[in-house]
Every structure is written in structure tokens, then in C-alpha cells.
Amino acid sequence: MPDKTIPVASLGFPRIGRHRELKFALEGFWSGKISETELLETAARLRAENWALQREKGITHIPSNDFSLYDHVLDTAVMVGAIPSLYGWAGGDVSLSNYFAMARGSQSEGHAGCGHGHEGHSHHGQGVPALEMTKWFDTNYHYMVPEVSEDQHFVLTSQKPVDHFLEAKALGIHTRPVILGPVTFLKLAKAREAAFKPLDLLARLLPVYEELLRRLRAAGADWVQIDEPVAVLDLSEGERHALAVAYRALSKAAPDLKILLATYFGGLEDNLEAVASLPVAGLHVDLVRAPDALETALKALPENRVLSLGVIDGRNIWRADLAAIITRLEPVIAARGAAAFQIAPSCSLLHVPVDLELETGLDADLKSWLSFATQKLGELATLGRALGEGKAAVATELEAASKAVAARASSPKVTDAAVQKRIATIGEADRKRVSSFAERQKVQSQAIALPLFPTTTIGSFPQTPEVRKARSAHSKGALTDAQYEKFLQKETEATIRWQEEIGLDVLVHGEFERNDMVQYFGEQLSGFAFTQHAWVQSYGSRYVRPPIIFGDVSRPKAMTVRWWEYSQSLTDKPVKGMLTGPVTILNWSFVRDDIARSLTCRQIALAIRDEVNDLEAAGAQMIQIDEAALREGLPLRHRDWQDYLGWAVECFRICSSGVGDRTQVHTHMCYSEFNQIIDAIAAMDADVISIETSRSKMELLDAFRTYKYPNQIGPGVYDIHSPRVPAVGEMVDLLALARERLEDRQLWINPDCGLKTRKWEEVRPALVNMVAAAAELRRAV
């Protein structure tokens, strides 16, 4: 009986398609293989399929306008006319080529991602650059950063939300359109001139939103979901006030249109009073990230408002404990009445893969513990029926869920007593190098003869089409292990020889054997699983398939020693051992929800520590542990930073403290904001840290100078995001700026990041110039 069920919502569904149809259509369109019409047809088909699927699964509030060809924040910018003049838009409809120019730049070579493509960066090169891109809150999804100017004029350029609503309506499906809220939009936007804050433009933006709401209402919408995830951040009084101003205006725009204000990725906490008092019909809260928010939200929310209960995890892939959720919600719903609630995922399902059923290679037990977007729809519907009609109506589903949850909780595949025992014995000495940096440096400089301003690279060399072809041939069985191994050896040897030839001081093996800096390690560790089809959008047409950490993590055997030994056997110059750090592995994986993240991180740290020790035993004098994602893992609330940084730093130290003074530990971080975390960086106590600096004119080294950071630093002098080859003089100039901030004895010379996304034609001259810049510097001192 549908009228007895509680409304069940999905706040957004993945847009990429079960088989990545959107990616292939986009790439086909960009390369001229398919027409605009074909691209748009594919997009419409995906929307229709998603709507139909959600209806079939029993979702009653089905979202529309959650679909985007590239990014929903970009869609919003385009919709309100926030289009920087350089894209040549002259008013009226925004063409697809304008849209994609903002997304990717024109004459684009795409975003040259730093390593994983997980860091914010803008496109450099010729033609029109793309908008900047950065991480969407604490997810691994990246949005295009809107740019607004002080004299910004907003205008409704498109009716995409209305069009999609009508498109669904024509298919017989009544949807709840989703739009990005005006306060979040402006808070995420970047001011073109430093003199103002984008939020100051709110009064000018609101009429556009009001117009949109009126049109949605006229088209027949009764509910609209307006996303304001900024409500879970530390907000200023002014920002809270902006929410009040915005929703006072929007609630009047189309009086019969009910607004569900959606907040997610955390609790409202100190913003609760302000948000709960907004004049909207309903509020969505994330009860996965903030389980305690239920009682406080109930108390704060006026009786006549609907509370949307975000109880199914939209950020992770585990099957939910439906019985526990029901037990928790039953009394609450009985007290206020079913009409006061909606059942929902914690956030949009954008962040989880589409359909578990596609996975044929997963361990059967593990598979039975998982739930992807499609399965989550089923869980939501089951909850709705159990809470509305009663548990008996869905007894089979509930029993299956309980069985899976119980099986996972007691499975020997999840727990490893040896790992737990080892974790319990980590002591002070395991987190501390034997001697201080000053002493280590003395020992190291005697053990390893290096010139002043040593030159090195970050690890990877170009992943050429040949390298990728060989890898895929190997995984398909077309290349035998031996043939593939031989191919990799040849690539590695050529790279070592070339580095020697141009005179780099510290060499790397090039990472040709690695598919990805996280996956490569995950595949060799216990407790990790990999999927075949579980893609999640990272940005635009780029999707990632994060590993699933399901059990206690350990390292059955050495992972990289063989490749290091082989490379070092080819040369007398030192070759760095090259590892990915535990925090980065953790942050780029789906993690367990049955133990703390910090505990999993410690387990990975112990595994990496073993690898570090093995590399040392094999003779490595330098070992680099990359922590590319350490900074991006910072929690959304400031208050939680210390805790996170505390265990993140501890984990790095666990990895690096098993070796003697003589072994030089390097780390790499490919980003450029250190001011707020400089204490933590210093506490990591790496002997050498390389960072991304080439575009910041070395200004970010100020944080290190102010701190009097004592260890060695390699500030990047070659912007690897660009195909441009930097000239010797440019790098010398950058290094002069670095020398104003650091002592000569501290300085290393290296690119900003790994070179895997570049071409050899670019890398060769750039590194030759880099070595020449070092020589020039040495001559000058």
C-alpha cells in the first residue's frame, strides 16, 4: 500500500552509466567521432534509465537535474550566467563548445592530473584555459570552480532543471528537481578581484534562483531539493545570515513549491539553529556522518517541517544494517507521525559505483556484504516499507540484510589476529627515528656523496601508449609474464641510462610496472579487494575505481624490492625506493565502516614499514614515501584537524622509523598550501620533502621559512601540469627565490610531481634544463 509507506528519496544518482556510457560518448564527441546529437541522445537515455530504475526500485522522490554532462557546479555557473568573458559568451543560450571550453579549456589536452588526478589544478597551455578544478568537500569528486567578478551580472541562461523535469514528466515520471543552493554556489566560487567576497553577490544572484523556482513550479514540480552542503562547515555569522536571506527570498518565490534543503557530509552542529529555522518545507540531514544529529534536529526543527533522514551511506559501499536503522527510527516516527519524515541516503549516490551485479570476480562473501547505488535504492525502499507498512511487509529483505551484516561481522576474512596483536604493540620507539635530523644529516652526507643542490625526480616517467598497451596485453593474457617483465625491464633500463646520461644525481626506476600508485600496492596487500566495473566519477569524463579495504591489512611479501634491486643493479648512482604512503592509500580507497579509519591507516603503515625495512636491507639508501593525499584528507571542520593530522603524521612515522640514520627518507606532496599544516609536516620528520611550487613563485616556502623548518626540501621548479618546457633561466630564477627563503644546504632540485602524464618529448628537454639550472647555481655559489 503505497500510501502507508514513508516517502523514500534518492538525493542523486550516478550519471556515468552502468557501463561508463557517458565517458565514451563524451570522448567520442570530443574526438569528433560522434555528433552533438548523438552525445545528447546518450545523455537522455542515461537519464531515462536512471529514472526508470529508481521508480522500479520503489523510490518516491526521484531526483532530476542530478545529471550533468561534466559537472553540476559548472552547470550551475552556466545556468546563472557566471561565465568569464574569456570564453566569448555573448549572452543567450550557452553552446556546448562554450560549456566544454570552461570544463577543459579549448585546444585542450585535458587535465594533466598530478599522479592520481586528485588534486586541484588548472589547465595551462595554449588556447583558452579551463576553469580551475578542486575537490568537492571531502570527496574525491572534483568540481569546476566558478569565477565571479565584482560587477557580476547574473542571468538565467538555461532552464536545464525545468527541461529535465519535463523530460521525466513526458516519460510519466514525476521528479523532484535538484539544484545547487545559492549560498553553496557562491561560497565555492572564486572572486576574480581580491577586493570582494563572492557571497556579497547574493542579492544579485537570488532573483535568478527565484525565477527558476517559479518556472519549476509552473512546469508542475511540487518539491525541489536545494543542496546546501556548506551548512556542515565552520560558518561565519555573515554566512549564516546569507542562508537566512536566501531562503527567506526563495520560500516566497513560488509559494506552492516545497523546498527540501539538503545538507550532507557532516552534522549541522553550531549551524543547526540557523538552518532549522529557515522557512523551508523540509530539511535533510546526514545521519551516517553525524548519527547524533537525529535527536538534535528533531528538537530544533519546527513540527510542521519534514525531516529527511539520511540513513543509507552515500559515501561508502557497505550493505546497511537495516534492522538497526529501523529500531532507531521506529520510536521517532511513531512519535511525530510518518508524514513528518522521508527516508534517504546520507548524500547523493554520485560517490558510489553504479551496480554491484556487474561484479563477477569478487569473493562471494565480500560481494554479499556490499551495496552500490542500485542496491542502495533497494535498501532505501525496504526501509520505507518497513517503517510505513511494518516489518512483516519486507521480512525476506530484512532477513537477508541481517544475515549479511552478521556474516561480515564474524567473518574470519575480515579479522587477522596477528595484525591486531602487532597494532597493540606499537610503541614510542616505533614512531621515532633513532637520531635527530641534524645527526642523521651528518651520517647521510657521509654515506651518500651528493653535490650541493642535488637533482632528482618524483618517481614516475611517462606512461607512454606502449607502456599502457603492454600492460593491457598482459592483463588480457596476450603477453606472458615473462614477456611483460622483459618489456618493463627494458623501459626501466632505458630510463635509468637516460637519467645517468643527463646527469641527474638521484635516480628513480620510473614506475612503469605500476598501473596506479594506490592500486599497485593494494593489489599486493591482504585486506584489499578490487572490482572490475565499480567506477566512480573523479571529474568530467575521468572515473576511478577505488580499492575496497574490507579486512585487516598486512603485507604477505615484499612489493617493490625486486624492481628497486633491478634498477640499482644498473647504476652506481643512488636509486630511490618508491612507495605510496598509508594516508594516501586510505584516502583513495573505500574504507571499512566497522573500525576507525585511523586504525586501518595504522595497519597500512605497518605494511609499508615492512617494505621500507626490506628496501633498506636490500641496500637502498633513499626511500620515498609519497603522501599525495595527506592534505586533501583534512576533515571539513577545523576542530577535527588535530585529531586527523595526529594519526596521519603518526602513520608516516611508523612507516619511516624502522630504518637507521643512514637511510634517507623522502616524502612527496603535490600541492601547495602548507601554512595551516606546517607543524604536521615538520612532525613527519622526513629527511627530504619535495613539494609543488613552480607556479607559486616559491611563496609557499614562506611557511617553511617562518617555521624555521630544518630538514631538506625540494621545491618543484618544473610545472608538470603543462606541456611547456621551462627554460634554464626560469628555473634559475625560481631557485633564486627559493634561496631567499631556505639555506643552500636544505635545497633539492626537482619537478613539481611525477612525470607519468607527460610525453618524453616534453620531459627530456625539461629535465636537461633542470640539470643545467643546478649546474649554474653551483657555479654561482
Residues of this chain that interact with ligand MET (CB under 6 A) are 114-116, 458-460, 511, 517, 578, 626, 628, 668, 670, 753-754, 756
Nearer to ligand MET, 72 or 758 (CB): 758
Q: How far apart are the two ends of the chain, measured CA to CA in Å?
A: 84
Question: What's the closest the beta carbon of residue 462 comes to ligand MET, in angstroms?
Answer: 11
Query: How is residue 198 written as a grid cell?
Result: 563572492
Is 721 noted as a catalytic residue in this protein?
yes
Contact 575, 567 (CB under 8 A): yes
Instruction: Please identify, using beta-carbon distances, which residue of 553 and 670 lies nearer to ligand MET.
Output: 670
Choice between 77 and 114, CB closer to ligand MET: 114
Phi, psi of 436, rounded to the nearest 5 degrees: -70, 165
Residue 697 DSSP class: T
For ligand MET, give the closer residue by CB, 76 or 690.
690
DSSP letter for 544, please: E
Q: Quick one: 383 or 681, whose CB is closer to ligand MET?
A: 681
Residue number with CB closer to ligand MET (264 or 512): 512
User: HSE (CB half, 13 Å, CA atoms) of 292?
Assistant: 3
Write out the three cell numbers for 587. 584516502
For the CB of residue 719, give the shortest distance to ligand MET in the complex, in Å.
Answer: 14
Q: What's phi and psi for 370, nearest 5 deg?
A: -105, 160
Tell me the three state secondary structure of residue 633.
helix
- Cβ 627 to ligand MET shortest distance, Å: 9
Q: Which is nearer to ligand MET, 118 or 592 (CB)?
A: 118
| Residues 6+ away with beta carbon under 8 Å from 84 | 102, 131, 147, 149, 192
Choice between 342 and 624, CB closer to ligand MET: 624
Kind plus residue range of the DSSP H or E element containing 175: strand 175-180
Q: Taking Cα atoms as reference points, which of 13, 40, 10, 14 lies closest to residue 25?
A: 40
Pairing of strands 548-554, 526-529: antiparallel
Give the list of residues 6+ apart from residue 230 with CB closer than 8 angstroms, or none.
181, 183, 184, 187, 188, 239
Q: Report the alpha-carbon distance of residue 420 to residue 592 in Å, rounded.
A: 15
Can you give the length of the chain in residues? 781
Pick 229 or 582: Cβ nearer ligand MET: 582
Q: Which is nearer to ligand MET, 153 or 468 (CB)?
A: 468
CB 121 to ligand MET: min, Å: 11
Alpha helices in 171-271 (DSSP H): 182-188, 202-219, 237-253
Q: Read off φ and ψ for residue 343, nearest 5 degrees.
A: -100, 135
Q: Residue 135 Cβ, how far from ligand MET at the closest point, in Å?
A: 14
Around 258, how many Cα atoms within 13 Å sit in the side-chain half-sphere? 13
Identified catalytic residue from 118, 509, 668, 721: 721
For helices 395-410 and 322-336, the axis angle rounded to 10 degrees is 130
Q: Which of 551, 596, 601 is nearest to 580 (CA)?
A: 601
Least distance in angstroms from the C-beta of 283 to ligand MET: 38
| Cα dihedral across residues 286, 287, 292, 294: positive or negative | positive
Q: What is the CA radius of gyration of the chain?
A: 27
Between CA 446 and CA 111 the distance in angstroms is 42
Minimum CB–partner distance for residue 2 and ligand MET (Å): 49
Residues 350, 15: Cα–Cα separation, whole Å: 7
Q: How far is the CB of 754 from ligand MET (least distance, A)?
A: 2
Contact 9, 61 (CB under 8 A): yes
Please identify which residue in the block is written with the cell numbers 510519466: 172
> Which residue from 71, 66, 67 is spatially nearest to 102, judged by alpha carbons?
71
Which residue number, 517 or 677, has a Cβ lying nearer to ligand MET? 517
Q: Is 540 left (phi over 0), alpha (psi -120 to 50) or beta?
A: left
Cell numbers for 169: 514528466
Q: Which three cell numbers stand for residue 147?
A: 569565477
Distance in Å, CB of 589 to ligand MET, minimum: 15
Max Cα distance, the chain (Å): 84
What minimum distance in Å lies between the beta carbon of 113 and ligand MET? Answer: 8
Q: What are the helix and strand counts (H, E) for the chain?
A: 27, 20
Minimum CB–partner distance for residue 585 and ligand MET (Å)? 12
Q: Could you give the residue numbers annotated as active site? A: 721
